Amino acid sequence: MEALIGALTIFVLAVFVGYEIITKVPPTLHTPLMSGSNAISGITIIGAILCAGAGGEGNFFSALLGFLALVMAMVNIVGGFLVTDRMLHMFKKKKD
Amino acid sequence: MEWINLAYLVASILFIYGLKGLGSPKTAVRGNRLGAVGMLVAVVATLVNKDVLSFGWIIAGMVVGGAIGAYIARTIKMTAMPEMVALLNGFGGAASMLVALSQFIITPAVFRNPTWLAALMLSALIGAVTLTGSLVAWAKLQGFAEKALKIPHQNLLRVVLSFVTVALAGLFIWQGHGFMLLLLTVSALALGVLLVIAIGGADMPVVIALLNSYSGIAAAATGFVLMNNGLIISGSLVGASGIILSKIMCKAMNRSLRSVLFGGAMVSDEQMASIPGKEFYEGKVKSCGAEEVAMLLEDARKVVIAPGYGLAVAQAQHVTQELARTLEARGAEVKFAIHPVAGRMPGHMNVLLAEAEVPYDKLIEMDAINPEFSQTDVTLVLGANDVTNPAARDDPSSPIFGMPILEVDKSKTVIVIKRSLSPGFAGIPNQLFINDNSLMLYGDAKAVLQDLIRALQEL
């Protein structure tokens, strides 16, 4: 129970932090914000790694599900960060 | 075990700084890279953790997923960003769902207490809804099902399926059977389809933002399953981001989140029946050719361009910038008026115009540009429709009354570049097109603008 309340505390505080930072992002950057935050939501990869690498604790199915989760999360992370980078370079002021 | 949480803390700090960097175009590239470094820290810390025993599946998954991600990111067209983000949202949700299912298999029965089961249930449920919801959104953006699809009794179906899902969720937490988890996941997958399929193409900015939020919340729920602070913090950051964006989008359309999600089309059938059809425009619309517009533009001191989804469809962002440069070379001041819901996702127009190298300080937000229209000589409306309809401001009987608009009608002359007089997403005629100071220039945006540039050069 104590661990749960600790985790809930962190969750709620992080939502507040997120709210404060993201309200300050100007509309011009909303698309990169979405693709960039999308890449961050690929953090589930931590869970996927633990599932796919559980070894003897899991079975074939748990490893397979973990593998699929890893592929998905990896597409999310690599695709998200790279496309955001590509987009943001376009926003940089070009020198005439 | 403690040092790994320290690594997750470092990753979380990097994510927060990264998102903060996205607050300004000057710091955004660095911000995004900080986020990527944060992700690297989290992944490496997890890999060297003693809980990871075999690496075969992990390496394979990373190579396959990384290659696919890199390929999509490099080849995707900027006009297709809404599709890409929709797809990525879905993948994020799918990952959380799959992790939940896998964790259920891995975790021995003695450790499955009700709170853990509840977190696992949420992770699978939200992940599944995000997955299928995003796939439907993606299909809609691809043009497979532009309009709000009507399934018979869809609201009843949604209510029933929601109850079934909640009941299954309750049963799963109570008894902890794997079979219940499977049923729950299947019913959540169906629910995701039903929730999004009835939403029209114009509401896509809200839906994509919302699904973005869900993918974050699903990750946070996975964090509760694993009791992992890194996941909880990052997930809730993304969750908050998506919620804020959906709120902004709803406000820009003067709609509540509830009416977007459950209201179906923007204009109800009864309202539709009282809306005039083609006779609305009969004999009142003035059209013109490129040469005429070129002459108007030649004398213009101040020109505003109001782009919409049509600009993305016609891939006309580069030629638009070419026109802007041509006008500037002739001494005119050119600005771009950006409505918050122009396009199919938040900030869609900004990205397209940035691709065409329009400096970002020329992209002016709605509230800032509206007072300037009265001093504008010519406004070019490029593939935007409902967001310029003066009826939303003047006609209380209009179905879109109250929606904030770009007040393009206040400029001296309005040139509307459009293929035909077909209605926009709201399905209603546009008052702007019959105004005395409006001129229609029919055709594909790209072709019309090329003609216009040529005509300007020949003057």
CA-to-CA distance for B456 and B451, rounded, in angstroms? Answer: 9
DSSP B278: G
Residues B172 and B287 in one domain: no
Q: Domain residue spans in chain A?
A: 26-91
With beta carbons under 8 A apart, name residues in chain B contacting A90.
78, 351, 354-355, 357
Q: Is B203 a catalytic residue?
A: no
Asked if the ipTM is above 0.90, the reply is yes
Domain boundary, last residue among B215, B232, B262? B262
Residue burial B260-269, b: 16+ Cβ < 10 Å; e: rest: bbebbbbbee
Of B10, B55, B69, the C-alpha closest to A49 is B55
Residues B386 and B454 in one domain: yes
* B35, B223, B347 member nearest A39 (Cβ): B35
Residues B84 and B194 in one domain: yes
CA-to-CA distance for B195 and B405, rounded, in angstroms? Answer: 28
| DSSP labels, B325-362 | HHHHHTT-EEEEEE-TTSSSSTTHHHHHHHHTT--GGG
Selected residue with higher pLDDT from B380 and A94: B380
pLDDT number for residue B37: 97
Establish if B363 belongs to a structural domain. Answer: yes
CA-to-CA distance for B38 and B408, rounded, in angstroms? Answer: 44
pLDDT number for residue B238: 94
Establish if B401 belongs to a structural domain. Answer: yes
Per-residue pLDDT for chain B (459 aa), expressed as one digit of tens each?
568 889 999 999 999 999 999 999 889 999 999 999 999 999 999 999 877 888 888 999 999 999 999 999 999 988 889 999 999 999 999 999 999 999 999 988 888 888 999 999 999 999 999 999 999 999 988 877 555 566 777 778 888 999 999 999 999 999 888 899 999 999 999 999 988 887 876 788 889 999 999 999 999 999 999 999 999 999 999 999 999 999 888 888 888 887 777 655 555 555 666 666 667 787 788 888 888 889 999 889 999 999 988 888 888 999 999 999 999 998 899 999 999 888 888 888 999 999 999 988 899 999 999 999 999 999 999 988 888 999 889 988 888 888 899 999 999 999 999 888 877 767 788 889 989 899 999 988 899 999 999 998 887
Indicate the angle between helix axes B348-355 and B317-329, nearest 10 degrees. Answer: 60
Of B29, B19, B46, B313, the C-alpha closest to A90 is B29
Establish if B302 belongs to a structural domain. Answer: yes
What's chain B's length in residues?
459
* B51, B62, B225 member nearest A74 (Cβ): B62
DSSP A78: I
Planar angle of CA A48, B14, B245, nearest 5 degrees: 80
Establish if B369 belongs to a structural domain. Answer: yes
For residue A96, pLDDT over 50 is answered with: no
With beta carbons under 8 A apart, name residues in chain A contacting B232.
7, 10-11, 14
- Range of the structural domain that residue B176 is part of: 76-262
For residue A95, pLDDT over 50 is answered with: no
* Class of residue A35 by CB neighbours under 10 A (exposed 0-12, middle 13-18, buried 19+): buried
pLDDT number for residue B424: 74
Closest CA–CA distance from residue A2 to any residue of chain B (Å): 12
Closest CA–CA distance from residue A7 to any residue of chain B (Å): 7
Residue B4 gets the label, from left (phi > 0), alpha (psi -120 to 50) or beta, of alpha
Closest CA–CA distance from residue A89 to any residue of chain B (Å): 7
Asked whether the beta carbons of residue B102 and residue A58 sit closer than 8 angstroms, the reply is: yes
Task: Give the three-class secondary structure for B302.
Answer: strand
CA-to-CA distance for B89 and B131, rounded, in angstroms? Answer: 7
Q: Are B245 and A29 in contact (CB under 8 A)?
A: no
Residues B177 and B87 in one domain: yes
Establish if B257 belongs to a structural domain. Answer: yes
pLDDT number for residue B104: 93
CA-to-CA distance for A85 and B30, rounded, in angstroms? Answer: 9
Strand ranges for B182-317 from DSSP E: 302-307
Residues B258 and B294 in one domain: no
Task: Provide φ and ψ at B6, rounded to 5°.
Answer: -65, -40
Residues B300 and B396 in one domain: yes
Considering its fold, how many domains does chain B have in total? 2
Asked whether the beta carbons of residue A65 and residue B101 sit closer than 8 angstroms, the reply is: yes
Asked whether the beta carbons of residue B346 and residue A51 sit closer than 8 angstroms, the reply is: no
Establish if B41 belongs to a structural domain. Answer: no
Establish if B200 belongs to a structural domain. Answer: yes
Both tokens assigned to B396: 């209380």
Of A38, A65, A35, A37, the C-alpha closest to A49 is A65
Residues B225 and B107 in one domain: yes
CA-to-CA distance for B123 and B99, rounded, in angstroms? Answer: 8
Establish if B274 belongs to a structural domain. Answer: no
Planar angle of CA B244, B249, B252, nearest 5 degrees: 130
Q: What is the mean pLDDT of residues A80-95?
A: 84
Asked whether the beta carbons of residue A67 and residue B57 sit closer than 8 angstroms, the reply is: yes
Residues B256 and B114 in one domain: yes
Residue type, B145: A
Asked whether the beta carbons of residue A46 and residue B230 sit closer than 8 angstroms, the reply is: yes
Furthest CA-CA distance within chain B: 83
Residue type, B457: Q
CA-to-CA distance for B266 and B204, rounded, in angstroms? Answer: 12
CA-to-CA distance for B242 and B170, rounded, in angstroms? Answer: 27
* B74, B227, B244 member nearest A82 (Cβ): B74
Residues B450 and B385 in one domain: yes
Gap between the terminal Cα atoms of chain A: 61
Residues B400 and B433 in one domain: yes
Both tokens assigned to B401: 């009354």
Enumerate the β-bridge partners of residue B307: B382
* A44, A56, A64 member nearest B95 (Cβ): A44
Percent of chain A with pLDDT over 70: 94
Residues B233 and B360 in one domain: no
pLDDT number for residue B110: 81
